[in-house]
Amino acid sequence: MKYRVIRCAFLSLVLMLAVAVQAQEKKVKYTPLEEIDKGWPTKTIDRVINGSFGIMLERFDQTWPTWMVGAVRETMEKGLAKQVLDEETSLTVTIDSKNGYAQVSDGGTDGEYMSACFWNRKNGHKLLAVCLGKPTDPCLEMVCFYDYDPQKKTLTPEPDILKGYRWSDRKEFTQIFCHLPRKGKNILVDEWGSEGPVQHTFTWNGMKPVYSKTAPLNIDDGADLNNYSE
């Protein structure tokens, strides 16, 4: 009897250790946004089996894992259009499958955020955009653009889109925030500088968003720029 008890205890311990090891293996190591900002422009993502929004985001997240895109993927897998992650801060995942748009945002705290969308290019390819940012320590925002090639099954970086309107090109004492379109196809870039805030519009030309105009930014607390449509 004593031997049987010891044996059961030993087997239980082995099982607990196995579960712990498995949990550690499943734990994802997230990539700092600073590292993604430096690395994404030169790294092509392969083995993208199709051009669906979910698959493209999956391969992006497997290459540059973040908790934000991971939360989007989890919400997609559950078939949900919305998932509240933290009621206190209103941290919410929004999925708009019809318009090919996803977003993680909160009620204006200092947390990290993201949005993503894609366009169908006139050459049969797709253009994927993933915006990642954080407002503090240090303030950083980037938009990772990729061309999806259905023949090669690859996502190839296109870092020169929005050149001159990115954090890496910004003027001194200037902050830039990009709004990917949930509705419509145009991108808005808010630029906050010493001369007052302005908004740049980039219009879709069938292959990429190109600079169209700059106008003073009208501050409206009730506006939802992620639902912008022109």
Residue boundaries of the structural domains of the chain: 30-220
What is the distance, to the nearest Å, from the Cα of residue 82 to the centroid of all Cα atoms in its chain? 16
Higher pLDDT, 164 or 59: 59
Structure tokens at 3: 């031997």
Is 49 in a helix, a strand, or coil? Answer: coil
Tell me the three state secondary structure of residue 200: strand
pTM of the complete model: 0.83
> Phi-psi region for residue 15, left (φ > 0), alpha (ψ -120 to 50) or beta?
alpha
Single-letter residue type at 181 = P
Give the tens place of pLDDT for each residue, 70-110: 999 999 999 999 999 999 889 999 999 999 999 999 877 78
Q: Apex CA 127: angle with CA 123 and CA 57, to 5°? A: 135
pLDDT at 220: 65
User: 34 forms bridges with which residues in the sheet?
Assistant: none
Cβ atoms of 57 and 101 closer than 8 Å = no
The per-residue pLDDT for range 28-57, each reduced to its tens digit, is: 799 999 999 999 999 999 999 999 999 999
